[in-house]
Chains A and B, each alone.
Chain A
Amino acid sequence: MWKEIEKRESGRVRPRSFANRVKSSRVASLQLSNHKDIVSPHKGSVNSLQVDLTEGRYLLSGASDASAAVYDVQQPQKLEGGGLIAKHKPIFVIDKQHEHRHKYAISSAIWYPIDTGLFVTGSYDHYIKVWDTNSTQAVMNFKMPGKVYSTSMSSLATSHMLIAAGTEDVQVRLCDIASGAFAHTLSGHRDGVMTVQWSNSSEYVLVTGGCDGAIRFWDIRRAGCFRVLDQSHSQLGRRPPLLERSAMTKVFVSCVVTCICILGSTSRSSSGGQNMSKATAVSRKSSHGNGAKHSGSNRISAKGSIKHRLHPGMLSSQDRATAHYGAVTGLKISEDGMYLFSAGSDSRLRLWDIESGCNTLVNFETVRLQTNKPIQLSVSEDSALVFVPCMTVVKAFDFWSGKTYFTFRGHYEYVNCCCYSALDQELYTGGNDRQILVWSPFISYEADEGTTRNEDSWSD
């Protein structure tokens, strides 16, 4: 450790890479924390965990007994075990005695991305509530047509404050906090929507995964989704091969969406062995103004006589491509916004390249994944590891080779959610056994006997 610091001092190692090395060595030694403990007040399984995005200090958890709690994960309330073990009790708990409580299980609890003054909870009682953190009151209520499976807010948003909600209804609804009403609904899925995620690269792009196995990309400024991921479209390797653009692709107005035209040409060419007859069908389709995807299943010309004319933006509802053979239970976009990781109830984990919309055929070895609830995945900050709850363990997979690097065994029952905090390199996991476990880099205590008594929370 000292040699590394000396190297950085003398300039032989760049500051960034020094920091990365320290971080990755800490991540490599993650294990059940021997110095930190979170006391969970929940009487039901923990369904959702999130560390706030502004300071990385407060952890919000939502559970099946309609309770939500916030913990300070950096300052403990109590020190036990001779000052060695920090016990973090919840700062406040919203439980069934609260006047604005939810009636049934809370399936998702997220912080308002700008500051920690607000948080949003979505529950199986068809309501989404927006709470004020300081006064612990629900300030807004949105009624949904079905059980809310997942909610999400964009962390990049500067021009909108929309909550995207995925419910057991086929439409994805966008709720606006500023006005208190629904902004609009996105239809295209054919079964309930289990997970929603906003894109890390654009404030207008939303990704949703449904119980019908489809993953759709939506630009909320337009009707209809602009891409559906198809698992049979695959590319070998990280980046799609660079090929000439065909003359039929149209370039769209919105700045983010220029990636679609690359999609338009590469999806045709990356499905390499396909016949020319397919290419003409695709080019006919792209002239309809949608420009997005692949092939064969979208036979607009043949169906034109049968169906009435649809708005060009809605053509994607004809597309029945599936990303997974079962329901999509978890979605996570990597930190750089280029890759999407998806988990399905067919016990497969797939990695998608967002720009080309193709499945990069990385095989993650999993035997079984939980199938009835949405699970929350997490990626480490330099996108090298992805943490996936698989039944009763949490596995950390290498992003590119798909090998299991670590297996975190500690929960007694199924694990539902995990959240990685990049600031402290700690992993928080919550499961059906009502516990929230902390996994932190290993610290050995043998040498520290004399100094702990003199330390208080001000010394570092």
Chain B
Amino acid sequence: MMRAQFPHIDKVSIRPFVLRSQLYSSVVDRTQVDRELESLRRTKVLRIFKLNTGQDDHAIMFLDDYLNQIERAVKRMEEKNVHDLEVFEWFKIHVIDTRLEPNISHQDLCSLLSLGGKVKDNQISVLINGGVIIRQLIDPSMYWFAIPNVGSMLKGLSQGRKELLSLLSRRRYKEMLLASLEKKRLRLSPLDMRFHLRDLIGSGHLKTIKTPTGLVVRISKE
């Protein structure tokens, strides 16, 4: 039921992904959302990634889209003449299929990649440069899985959130009609307004209230 939410992001070089909070805002029963996500994840239709923008963000992407994205990253690196690109192949075949969680430990990674061939440390750096895995800050031997080239989107995400929240908080009563809000464009974010709205409503920073003239979006106080 969540597959209907495929955002039309006609942006550069990245495949669509959905944030978890957006799913929460669209579907009423949050527990159901969690459970369906879990079962889809186990059947390998989706992948979930943890993002580092604020508290508890997860990005959800269809598996084919993710593989496409990796392909593009590989091509870009080929253009820059980086060697050892077969690491990406091994990564795709061995690691993605077997590890379904958003993170992986160093040992795990090495042992799985070595199923494809001999693995060296600089090959892992190649993976990090390509953007497929990221070191965790808290724990130096664990890595998060990541989406390549997602950096600009993440920046746009956090700046867009801030901008939207400041837009509403500057108003006298901290609220605005949904219809007029949707027409505005955000200066700093390449993602469109509806994306941010759904995300903030789902994470609880904004709430919608029914009024006789339509829906009103207000900043929630707790």
Give the contacts of B80-120 with A (CB-CB under 8 A).
97-102, 104-105, 107-108, 111
Stretch from B5-13, B25-33, B168-176, B190-198 forming part of the interface with A: B25-33
Q: A236 with B38: in contact, given A273-B43, A392-B222, A401-B31 (CB under 8 Å)?
A: yes
The stretch of A70-78, A99-107, A193-201, A274-282 in contact with B is A274-282
Q: Is the Cβ of A273 less than 8 Å from the Cβ of B44?
A: yes
Do residues B34 and A363 form an inter-chain contact, with CB atoms below 8 A? yes
Give Cα A391 to B101, complex, Å: 31
B187 within 8 A of A: no
How far is A366 from B44 in the complex, measured between Cα atoms in Å? 29
Q: Write the B12-49 contact mask toward A (1 if CB under 8 angstroms, else 0).
A: 00000000000010000111011100110111100000
Q: How far is the CA of A368 from the CA of B55 in the complex (A)?
A: 10
B121 within 8 Å of A by Cβ?
no
Binding stretch for chain B, among A25-33, A132-140, A295-303, A440-448: A295-303
**Interface check A4, CB cutoff 8 A:** no
A402 and B34 CA atoms in complex are apart in Å by: 12
Closest Cβ–Cβ distance, residue B97 to chain A (whole Å): 7
Q: When the two chains form the complex, which single residue of B44, B105, B142, B205 contacts A367, counting CB atoms closer than 8 Å? A: B205
B107 with A299: CB separation less than 8 A: yes
Residues 37-90 (chain B) with a chain A CB within 8 angstroms: 38-39, 41-44, 55-56
A316 interface residue, CB < 8 Å from B? Answer: no
Tell me, yes or no, whether A117 is within 8 Å of chain B by CB. no
A377 lies within 8 A of chain B by Cβ: no
Question: Are B56 and A273 in contact, CB atoms less than 8 angstroms apart?
Answer: no
A6 adjacent to chain B (CB < 8 Å)? no
Find out whether the CB atom of B31 lies under 8 angstroms from the CB atom of A273.
Answer: no
Contact string against B for A residues 387-410, beta-carbon threshold 8 Å, 1 for contact and 0 otherwise: 000111100000001100000000
In the complex the two chains form, is A277's CB within 8 Å of B31's CB? no
Judge if B204 is at the interface, Cβ distance under 8 Å: yes
Known: A273-B44, A320-B139, A361-B35. A299 touches B105 (CB 8 A): yes
* Residue B220 is within 8 A (CB to CB) of chain A in the complex: yes
Q: Among B30, B100, B142, which residue has its beta carbon within 8 angstroms of that of A402?
A: B30
Contact B105 A296 (CB under 8 A): yes
In the complex, how many residues of chain A place their beta carbon closer than 8 angstroms to a beta carbon of chain B?
A: 34
Residues in B neighbouring A297, C-beta threshold 8 A: 105, 108
A135 CB, min distance to chain B CBs, angstroms: 44
Q: Which of B39, B108, B220 contacts A236 (CB 8 A)?
A: B39
* Total A-B residue contacts, Cβ distance less than 8 Å: 69
A367–B220 touching, CB < 8 Å: yes
Q: Is A265 an interface residue (CB 8 A)?
A: no
Q: Is B108's CB under 8 angstroms from A273's CB?
A: no
A247, B78: Cα distance in complex, Å: 49
Contact present for A361 and B105 (CB under 8 Å) = no
Flag if B220 contacts A232 (CB, 8 Å). Answer: no
In the docked arrangement, what's the CA distance between A361 and B100, Å? 17
Q: What is the CB-to-nearest-CB distance from A27 to chain B, in angstroms, rounded to a whole number?
A: 22
Choice from A275, A362, A368 contacting B98 with Cβ under 8 Å: A275
The dominant DSSP class at the B interface is mixed
Name the residue of chain B whose CB is nearest to the CB of A299: B107
User: Contacts A275-B98, A296-B105, A302-B107 hold; do A363 and B222 have CB atoms under 8 A apart?
Assistant: no
Flag A314-347 by CB within 8 Å of B: 1 or 0 each. Answer: 0000001000010000000000000000000011
Taking CB atoms, residues of chain A closer than 8 Å to B38 are 234, 236, 361
Query: Within the complex, which residue of A302, A325, A365, A393 is in contact with B111, where a contact is CB–CB below 8 Å?
Result: A302
- A residues less than 8 Å from B102 (CB atoms): 232
Interface residue ranges of A193-213 to B (CB < 8 Å): none
B56 touches A348 (CB 8 A): yes
- Residues from 55 to 74 in A contacting B, C-beta threshold 8 Å: none
- B103 nearest in chain A by CB position: A232
- Asked if A15 is at the interface of the complex by the 8 Å CB criterion, the answer is no
CB-CB < 8 A to B101: which residues of A? 232
Q: How far is the CB of A389 from chain B (nearest CB, A)?
A: 12
Query: A277-B98, A347-B56 are known contacts. Are A361 and B34 too (CB-CB below 8 A)?
Result: yes
Considering only residues 178-218 of chain B, those with a C-beta below 8 Å from chain A are 203-205
Q: List residues of chain B with CB within 8 A of the CB of A325.
A: 55-56
Chain A residues in 8 Å Cβ range of B108? 296-297, 299
Q: Which residues of A contact B142 (CB under 8 A)?
A: 320
What is the bound-complex CA distance between A83 and B168, given in angstroms?
Answer: 50
CA distance A392 to B98 in the complex (A): 44
Residue of B nearest to A363 (CB): B30
Please list the residues of chain A having a beta carbon within 8 angstroms of any beta carbon in chain B. Answer: 232, 234, 236-237, 271-275, 277-278, 296-297, 299, 302-303, 320, 325, 346-348, 361-363, 365-368, 390-393, 401-402
Excluding A299-B108, A367-B222, 4 further A-B contacts by CB distance (< 8 Å) are A346-B55, A347-B56, A361-B35, A367-B204
Q: List 25 A-B contacts (CB under 8 A).
A: A232-B101, A234-B38, A236-B39, A271-B42, A273-B41, A273-B100, A296-B105, A296-B108, A297-B105, A299-B107, A302-B111, A320-B139, A325-B55, A325-B56, A347-B55, A347-B56, A361-B31, A361-B35, A363-B24, A363-B30, A363-B33, A363-B34, A367-B204, A367-B220, A402-B30
The 8 A-B residue pairs whose C-beta atoms are closest, nearest first, are A363-B30, A361-B34, A367-B204, A273-B42, A275-B98, A232-B101, A363-B31, A236-B35
